[in-house]
Copies of this chain bind each other. A is one copy, B any other.
Amino acid sequence: MKNTKLQAFIPLFYIVWSDSLLTEKGFFTLHEFIDSQDWLSAEEKEFLFSKITIANPPSRQDITDWRNKIEEIIQNRPEIKSVFEVVVALSGDDEIIQGLEIAFVKLENDLGILGEEAISNFKSKAQSHTVNSHTEASFDVNKITAILDGAQAPIINKVKSVISRPEFQYETSTDIGVYRQKVLDWCKILADENLGNMAYPKKYGGGENIADYFSIMETLSYHDLSLVIKFGVQFGLWGMSVQSLGTEKHYVKYLKDIGALKLPGCFAMTETHHGSNVKGLETTATYNHENQTFVIHTPHEKAQKEYIGNAALHGQMATVFAKLIIAGQDHGVNAFVVPLRDENGVVLKGITIGDCGHKMGLNGVDNGTIRFDNVVIPKENMLDRFASVNDKGEFESPIPSDNRRFFTMLGTLVGGRIGIPRSALAAAKSGLAIAIKYSDQRKQFGPENGEEVPILNYRMHQRRLLIPLAKTYAIHFALQYLTKRFINKTEAEMQEIEALAAGLKSYSTWNTTATLQECREACGGKGYLSENRIDALKNDTEIYTTFEGDNTVLMQLVAKNRLAEFRKAFGEMGSLGIINYVYENAKSAIAEKNPVVIRKTDDEHLLDSQFHLQAFQHREKTILASAAKRIKKLVDSGLDAYDAFNVVQHQMIDVAEAYLDSVVLEQFQIAIEAVKDEKSKAILTKLNQLFALSQIEINKAWYLEDGYMEAVKTKAIRKMVNQLCWDIRPDAVALVDAFAIPDSCLAAPIVVGEK
C-alpha cells in the first residue's frame, strides 16, 4: 500500500482477518463500504477488494506488517483511544479521511468491532508477560491499615499486643483436655485485661463500649478461634443474655463476676430436636406459686440442651430457654438462670452433663449437653425484662403476643450475629494473608528454558485468591456499617437491622468457608500441614455457617423481611402493587437497558461505580418483584403460604443474596468516597471494581436472562475481571500486609519462616 490514504483501511483489514471469527457478511459489509466511497478510484477499490477476498487470504507476513503498523501508531500516540483515530493516523492525517468519522464509526458498528477493546489489546500487550509481574506496592500499607481500623485502632492494637505475648503461643497438643484448659487460661488473661466486660455498663464494672467489644472479637480471631468462641460464649452469649433479658437485680448479682470470668456460664438454647426452630423448644419451666419457684425439666432425651459451650467442663450457671408453664398453661419460651455446678466445679443435683466430644474444630471449647431432672430454682432467676410472673402468680408481659415477645427477646441477642461474621472476616483475612504471601514466594513452572515463576503470576491462581481478597475487603466495610447501624439503632429500624445482621452473618461466613477452601488448595501440600494454620482456620470456622443460625434458614428470613418491606411499600401484595413496583423499576431501568448500554464494553463504562451499583440494584429489585409475583401466583393457585415458600425456596435465597450484594457494594463505595489519600483510594477502587464485576460475572446468567446485558458485555466483563486481577497482583501482598496480623498469630512457617 504505497498510497498513504489507503493505509486507513489497515486496522479494518487486520481486525477482520485476525480479531474475530470470519463471517461472510462481515466481508460483504466491508466490500460494500469500500464500493460506496466515491473518493476512491476504481483501481484503488480493486486493490482494496483484493485484500478482503475470502478465497485469497493475506499471508502471515501481511498480517504481521499490519499489526506492526498499528502498534507503532498506538505506541507513538498514547492519546489514541478509538479505531478511527488509528485510521486517521495511518492515512497520514488525510483530510478526506478526517471528514469520514461518522461513516467509519457506523462501519465499525456494522462489523461488530469493539473499538476500545481492539485498541486496548495493543496497549496491554507488554503487560501480559507472565514472568515480569512481581510484588510492588502502589500505596502506603499503614494508611490502608488506618482506614480499616478507623476509630477502633487503639483497642485493636491493645488486643494485638496481648495476643502477641509469649503465653499466647499456640497450643499444639491434640489432647482436648489440654487444649480446653489452655483456652480457659487465655480467657482469664483477657478478662484480667478488662477485655471481656467491654460491652457491659460501667456501673457493673464494664467498659460500656460495644464498638470496642466487636473489635475485640474480630481482632482476637487472628489468634486461636476456640479462644474467640469461648470468649464469645462467656462474655457475649452468657453475659449479654443476662444483660439483655434480665433486669437490675440480675445485673447487680452477676455481671461483674461474669466480666471477670469468676462466674463461667452457658447460653443453653439449642436442643437436640430443635435448633433452627427455637420456637419449638421442649424444655419446661413450671411455676410453683406455693414456694415461688420454677421447676426446670427436660421432658425427654431429645429435648436435652446440646452443643452448649462451657457446659462440658467449666460452666457454673446457664441462661436456659424453656417454655414457661403456669397452672398448666404454656406461655411460650422464656429465659431462666439455672446453676449447673458449684464453685469447685462439681455438677449439682438434677443436672446431667454430657460431652459433645471431639469436633471437626474448636476443640478448645468444651461443648456439652445438659439435661434437667426437675431442677428447682427461685422465682428471681427468671430473666424478666420482657416477661415476668407477678405477685399473684400470673404471667405478665408488656408485649401481648407470646410470639412477638419471644422474637423481641431474640432480637436483643442479635449482637452474636455481628460478632460471628466479624470473626469469620478475620479468619478469611488470615487465610488470604498466608495463601497470598506463599503464592508470591512459591515458584513453579516457567517459560521454556526460563526461570520458574511465582504461582501468583498465574491467571487462575489470581482469580482464586484475588477475587476473594476483593470480596473480603468489601465485607469488611459492610460489617463496619452493620456495627454502626446496630450501635445507633432506633426501635423502628430493628427489623431491618436484624435482617441485615442475619444476612451478613451468612454472607460473611460463607465467604470465609469458600475463601479458606481456595486458600488451602492454593497452598497445595503446604496448606494441608497443620503448622501452616489453614487446617485450624478452615475447621474452626466450618461451623460458623451453622451456629448463630443456619445460613440457609437465615437467608430465608432475610428474604421474607425483604418481601415484607416490599408489601409495606406497595400495599397488599396484590397484582397491582406488584405491577406498580415492576413498572417503576422498569422505568428506572430504561436508560440502563437501552440497546447501546446492554452492549457497552468500553473500560470506562465497565469500571464505572455507577454502572455497578445500578446493575446490583436492578437485580435486587427485579428478583424481589419476581419472587413476590411467583408466591402470589402459587398462593392464588391454592397452595398455603408454607408450601408456596418451599416451592420458591431457591428463589428466596437469590432475593437475599441480591439484597446483600447491593448493601455490600454500596457500603464499600461509600467507604471509598470518604478516603482522602489518593493512593489508598486508587487501590481500594480497584478492589471495589473487582468485587463488583466478579459478582456480576457470577450472576451473569441472570443478567442475560433478564436482558440487562448482552453476551458481548458479559464476555467483556469476564476479561475485565481477569485484567483487574492482573493489575492488582503486584499490590496483593501489601493488601494482606495491611490487615496487620501479628506474625505470632499468622505463625505459618511457609510465610513467617520455620519455627
Chain copies in complex: 2
Complex CA distance for A41 and B545, rounded to whole angstroms:
65
How many Å lie between the Cα of A443 and that of B450 in the bound state? 60
Interface contact A521-B551, CB-CB below 8 Å: yes
Q: Which residues of B contact A642 (CB under 8 A)?
A: 130, 446-448, 450
Chain B residues whose CB sits within 8 angstroms of the CB of A646 once the complex forms: 128, 130, 457-459
Q: Does A358 reach chain B (CB closer than 8 Å)?
A: yes
B57:A575 contact, CB within 8 angstroms? yes
**The residue from B17, B576, B629, B641 contacting A21, defined by CB atoms under 8 A apart:** B629
Quote the shortest CB–CB distance from A53 to chain B (angstroms): 14
- CB-based contact A538/B360 at 8 Å: yes
Bound: A464/B545 CA distance, A: 15
Interface residues in A675-734 (C-beta closer than 8 Å to B): 700-701, 704-707, 711, 714-715, 718, 722
B359→A643 contact, CB < 8 A: no
Contact A535 B172 (CB under 8 A): no
Q: Are B539 and A520 in contact (CB under 8 A)?
A: no
In the complex, the answer to whether A360 meets B539 with C-beta atoms within 8 Å is: yes
The CA-CA distance from A121 to B647 in the complex, in Å, is 12
Contact A460 B649 (CB under 8 A): yes
Q: Closest CB-CB distance, A428 to chain B, in whole Å?
A: 16
Which residues in window 163-208 of A have CB below 8 A to B?
172, 174-176
Q: Does A28 contact B (CB under 8 A)?
A: no
Residues of B with C-beta under 8 A to A634:
128
Expressed in whole angstroms, the minimum distance between the Cβ of A694 and any Cβ of chain B is 12
Task: Determine chain A's interface SS by DSSP, over half rule.
Answer: helix
Q: Is the CB of A521 within 8 A of B538?
A: no
The answer, yes or no, to whether A524 is at the interface (CB within 8 Å) is yes
A340-399 contacts to B, CB under 8 A, are 356-361
Q: A638 touching B125 by the CB < 8 A rule?
A: yes
Residues of B within 8 A of A457 (CB): 646
Chain B residues whose CB sits within 8 angstroms of the CB of A539 once the complex forms = 360, 535, 539
Chain A, residues 454-467, CB within 8 Å of chain B (1/0): the string is 00011111011000
For A528, give its contact among B277, B360, B513, B531 (CB under 8 Å). Answer: B360
Least CB distance from A567 to B in Å reads 17
Complex Cα gap A545–B528 (Å): 11
B contact residues around A448 at 8 Å (CB): 640-642
Q: Which residues from B are CB-within-8-Å of A130?
A: 642-643, 646
Task: Using A452-B277, A459-B647, A647-B459 as known contacts, say yes or no to A528 and B552 having CB atoms under 8 A apart.
Answer: no
B530-A358 in contact (CB<8A)? yes
Q: Given contacts A359-B528, A359-B529, A460-B649, could you give 9 more A-B pairs where the C-beta distance is less than 8 Å?
A: A57-B576, A64-B636, A358-B529, A360-B528, A447-B640, A458-B649, A464-B552, A528-B542, A528-B546
> A-side interface residues toward B, CB under 8 Å?
17-19, 21-22, 57, 63-64, 67, 121, 125, 128-130, 172, 174-176, 270, 273-277, 280, 306-307, 356-361, 443-448, 450, 452, 457-461, 463-464, 513, 517, 520-521, 524-525, 527-531, 534-535, 538-539, 542-543, 545-547, 550-552, 575-576, 579, 582, 629, 633-634, 636-643, 646-650, 653, 700-701, 704-707, 711, 714-715, 718, 722
